[in-house]
Structure 1
Amino acid sequence: MASSTTATTGPPIQVLVVDNDPAHAEAMADSLSRVGYQCVVAGSGPEGVEQLERGGFEIVVSDLKMPGVGGLELLEKSKELLPDAQVVLVTGHGTVESAVEAMRQGAFNYLLKPLDLKQLRAVVDNAARSQHLRRANTELARRLDEKFGFESIIGNSQPVRELIDRLRRIAPTDATVLIQGETGTGKELVAQAIHQNSPRKNRPFVGLNCAALSENILESELFGHIRGAFTDAAHDRVGKFEYADGGTLFLDEVGDMPLPTQIKLLRVLESGEITRVGSNEPVRVNVRILSATNRDLETAIAAGAFREDLYHRLKVISVRLPRLVERREDIPLLIDYFVRMHATRHKKQVKSVSAAARRRLLAYEWPGNVRQLKNAIESMVVVDYDGVLDLDDLPPDLAPKQEADGSPMDSGASMAELVGKSMSDLEALFIGETLKVTAGNREEAAKMLGIGERTLYRKIKEYGLN
């Protein structure tokens, strides 16, 4: 097979060849098939329209002059039915006017008869390159939606469902949003999900941590600077606002922003203009602001550490992220998700997570929230050697405490308190405690107890458990 720039990844490019001269149509199709294109031949304009209606073509090669439906009509129909398809027109009656009209209507290229098949392949290869780029962009958009869309917020608890419902209503607007939540609850992930589901999704998402920088550096990062603005300013520099123009700027830890910078940020929000450090020339910017903090800003306002007028500007819409312990029933889903993620990343084979390890992970208070759980699972995956994540794989801060003699500390009722209870009372106690640990997740509780879900449902009903 001759070399070509046809599909290097994904399925071969589908080409529709339309010409009322059967010999010429077959010659073009055969030439393109030899270099890897999948070709379908239509012997007339109407037949070409029928093929277009069936779909699937990324490139159309058509004669310009045909009885009934000509090349320009086919071009128009192609743009209607397959707007992403590239159309190459071929004619033996070439004029400057017809070429200009074809290109004006959206033809990719225009070739003259007698046709040079090498030139045809070169033109179709160029069209194929544009289609590969479109495929890559489509795949990138799909992956971004998967990574940063609402589907990336893992959970099925009531707090998460309410959060996603609120985000769906917020995202399509241009309102500023203040995202509040403890460290590790996923504030940046939520900001990216808002951006990815907004009309600005194809423009930049730019993040900046306001707590990590000094006042002067923060202002330069936000607004940019001109050459000579300060000692090390050897060149003009575009700031985050200009870089995010048309898109979204995410200000993380905005509660730690110095007061002088707060004043300048407020001015930008009010005027829609920034001024680079060292310059007097205002620059118009069109940016949506999302901000996040784990601080109580109302307390900071009372203490004089945060401007009240800026607070209200940033908090047109507010979103509060639940702590992990407030959505404990999502922990099993998160465990499985992070196990798959880190097993793939570290090329480890993980068959399962033991019931004992799941109990420990479910019962833990998670002061670092989802981020701490994610890091704990990664640690377990990395140190595991037998394909089963168990208590011996837990990070030290999660490992069960032990008595002085080395035996596990009893965190629940002592054995003495259990002595004398009937087996049915003990069974009800353990089922009830397991349901508490799993936050009512019956599927996970059945898995931890080693019984079927139907058996668990029957026991819940039998013992009158909620």
Structure 2
Amino acid sequence: MKEKTRIAIIDDEATVCRRLKKHLESDGYEAETFLMGVPFLKRMQEEPFHLVFLDLGLPDIDGMEILSQVTAHYDGVEVIIITGHGSIDSAIEAIKKGAYHYVGKPFKLDEIRSLARGAEEKIRLRQENRRLKEALEAADFGEELIGTGAPMRELFSMMKKVAPVDCNVLLQGESGTGKELVARSIHRLSPRKKRPFVSFNCGGFTEELICNELFGHEKGAFTGATLTKIGLLESAAGGTVFLDEIGEMPLSMQVRLLRVIQEKSILRVGGTKPIHLDIRIVAASNRDIKAACLEGNFREDLFYRLNVVALTLPRLAERKEDIPLLVSSFIKKYSHPFGKTAVRISPQAMDILMHYDFPGNVRSCVNQLFPFV
């Protein structure tokens, strides 16, 4: 649920405070009133406000001093000056000290509403830009692998720890959670980053096709093999191989893959001489591989060889706090090819997205947004 914007109203006229509070709360804001400045500053220390309506002429402390303290100690708080004691000089001084806007009494409620919405939008954009900067610059995990909530911070932390360690990794998570993006990021952050990254989906192929694609073949190995073919495993020498949907790999192929890991060599189809192979394997599945072992559908010895480090990717429904950030990033990315620079999503549409379960996770989110752009 979206956090309500908290507004403080500081004015020595009780009628003004009551009027503004009633009007702002009817617009969905959470408002508190203060007749003097010192009680406001104490309350601000307990639980900072997002937006402050401030009268410059207070009985206990100068309004300009309050403005200076707020802008100096509370990053991202917007202040709107409302006073009947102001002048153009005090307005300029207030803006120089960081006030968002200045309005004199008597004021119209529609004017207050417009100022509140403008300040709220400025706060939202600043927060969004900060989150996006943190996600893209601090993490360096790719433009689509975005998140600042606890589940993604934990995942990023584990990725940073495992990337430099030359061990196999097993990624588990639902379809659309970004398993290949995680695999690519681990490769990019590893000592193998200058060597190839090769990906292969093990699902939906025959045993013969998987064998031929992964291991390659020698010339004359079978009818039609007129040339020697280098397999994907061999082509990734020194780099990283991403095996998606590893749980779909036939048991006979699991035996061959286990041998590659144990012996650090491969044998092409029709070949007789083992070829030394130095690769790192990042495997992924949307199934519970350990459960598949118990059911006899996956080799336990291969599972332990792959499961040196296991990372579980959270569902998008488990990190809904990241949805606004993802939406903003995707809209910016997909607007550019269409020559659009100011595509925005309405609060109503964002609310719908925040309450949607996204059974296809991040991929589903992208698919929902693309037609909109």
Tell me whether the two structures share a fold, i.e. TM-score over 0.5.
yes
1:301 positional shift: 1.2
Residue 69 of structure 2 corresponds to none
Cα distance in 2 for partners of 1:177, 1:366 equals: 26
Residue 364 of structure 1 corresponds to 356
1:249 aligns with 2:241: yes
Distance 1:348 1:232, change over 3 A: farther
Distance 1:336 1:377, change over 3 A: same
**Which of 202, 209, 215 matches 1:210?**
202
Whether the 8 Å contact between 1:301 and 1:308 is mirrored in structure 2 is yes
1:353 aligns with 2:338: no
SS of residue paired to 2:217:
coil
SS of residue paired to 1:351:
coil
1:169 aligns with 2:177: no
Query: 5 Å matches for 1:434-449?
Result: none
Cα distance in 1 for partners of 2:144, 2:352 equals: 25
1:308 aligns with 2:308: no
SS of residue paired to 1:353:
coil
Residue 221 of structure 1 corresponds to 213
TM-score, normalising length: structure 2: 0.62
1:346 positional shift: 2.8
Cα distance in 1 for partners of 2:338, 2:179 equals: 26
Residue 326 of structure 1 corresponds to 318
1:343 aligns with 2:335: yes
Cα distance in 1 for partners of 2:169, 2:338 equals: 36
Amino acid in structure 2 at the alignment position of 1:216: E
Q: Which blocks of at least 5 consecutive residues in structure 1 are unaligned?
A: 1-143, 382-466
Amino acid in structure 2 at the alignment position of 1:315: N
Cα distance in 1 for partners of 2:173, 2:142 equals: 18
1:379 positional shift: 1.5
1:348 positional shift: 3.0
1:360 positional shift: 0.5
Cα distance in 1 for partners of 2:298, 2:256 equals: 13
Whether the 8 Å contact between 1:339 and 1:350 is mirrored in structure 2 is no
1:190 positional shift: 0.1
1:154 positional shift: 0.7
Cα distance in 2 for partners of 1:222, 1:307 equals: 19
1:280 positional shift: 1.1
Whether the 8 Å contact between 1:148 and 1:192 is mirrored in structure 2 is no
1:156 aligns with 2:148: yes
Residue 317 of structure 1 corresponds to 309
1:316 positional shift: 0.3
Whether the 8 Å contact between 2:139 and 2:156 is mirrored in structure 1 is no
RMSD of the alignment, in Å? Answer: 1.8
**Which of 163, 168, 177 matches 1:185?**
177
Percent of aligned pairs with the same residue?
47
1:282 positional shift: 0.3
Cα distance in 2 for partners of 1:342, 1:212 equals: 30
Cα distance in 1 for partners of 2:357, 2:143 equals: 25
Cα distance in 2 for partners of 1:169, 1:357 equals: 38
SS of residue paired to 1:310:
helix
TM-score, normalising length: structure 1: 0.50
**Which of 175, 195, 210 matches 2:187?**
195
Cα distance in 2 for partners of 1:309, 1:290 equals: 16
1:211 positional shift: 0.6
Amino acid in structure 2 at the alignment position of 1:231: T
Cα distance in 1 for partners of 2:298, 2:137 equals: 35
The number of residues matched between the two structures is 238
Structure 1 runs, 4 residues or longer, greater than 2 Å off: 144-153, 345-351
Whether the 8 Å contact between 1:150 and 1:164 is mirrored in structure 2 is no
Cα distance in 1 for partners of 2:279, 2:322 equals: 34
1:147 positional shift: 11
SS of residue paired to 1:352:
coil
Residue 278 of structure 2 corresponds to 286
Whether the 8 Å contact between 1:176 and 1:317 is mirrored in structure 2 is yes
Cα distance in 2 for partners of 1:367, 1:336 equals: 20
Whether the 8 Å contact between 1:325 and 1:365 is mirrored in structure 2 is yes
Residue 258 of structure 1 corresponds to 250
Residue 33 of structure 2 corresponds to none
Higher relative contact order (CA 8 A, sep 6+): 2
Whether the 8 Å contact between 1:289 and 1:314 is mirrored in structure 2 is yes
Amino acid in structure 1 at the alignment position of 2:264: G
Residue 269 of structure 1 corresponds to 261
1:251 positional shift: 0.4
Distance 1:166 1:151, change over 3 A: farther
1:213 positional shift: 2.0
SS of residue paired to 1:245:
coil
Cα distance in 1 for partners of 2:240, 2:177 equals: 21
Cα distance in 2 for partners of 1:212, 1:146 equals: 37
Cα distance in 2 for partners of 1:360, 1:152 equals: 21
Amino acid in structure 1 at the alignment position of 2:257: L
Cα distance in 1 for partners of 2:203, 2:225 equals: 22
Distance 1:172 1:145, change over 3 A: farther
